Structure 1
Amino acid sequence: MKPFIPQRFESLVFGLLLSGFMSCLVTLIASVLTVGIEPGLFGIWMENWFSSWLVAFPAVLVVAPLVRRIVHRLVITG
């Protein structure tokens, strides 16, 4: 696939995708554990996922730089 997003948006796209995938997976597990595998599970999951993503996306944008700095201090380079 040919890149189409300017590099200056890399951290924003990273946060968008990471928060989307993680919140999607976590809300699926939580929804299944709470409701079980029911006919309305998909709708419940999507509702929970969307509201979780609204929180997760800005949280990742704020937390990711801090985590990168911590990891940089923990990892031996070179």
Structure 2
Amino acid sequence: MISKKYAQPLFMILMSLGMSVIMSGVVVAVNTGISDGFFFRWGYSLMFAYPIALIAAFTLAPLIRPLVNKIASKE
């Protein structure tokens, strides 16, 4: 098991990976169709999408967390 202090970064790494897999797959399927070479195109797209999603997650989280804390009720 990993330390609890790494839970948030690990969450952002895995969440951005999952979202990148789904979004790149959908965008590739919509733009080029599911035909020969789909998985190659999907992998190629994912190779660029994941680092961008990861950087966005780590950059935006500190900016968005206070906004969510203001919006969310204190129940």
Quick check: 1:46 aligned with 2:46?
no
Post-superposition offset of 1:10:
1.4
Ranges of 4+ aligned residues in structure 1 off by more than 2 Å? none
Amino acid at match of 2:44: E
Partner of 2:11: 14
Shift of 1:18: 1.0
Give the root-mean-square deviation of aligned CA atoms: 1.0
The alignment of Structure 1 onto Structure 2 pairs a total of residues equal to 75
How far residue 63 of structure 1 moved from its aligned partner, in angstroms, is: 0.7
Residue 32 of structure 1: how far off its partner (Å): 0.3
Please state if 1:62 is matched with 2:55. no
Give the superposition deviation at 1:11: 1.8
TM-score in terms of structure 2 length: 0.91
TM-score, length-scaled by structure 1: 0.87
Matching residue's letter, 2:42: W
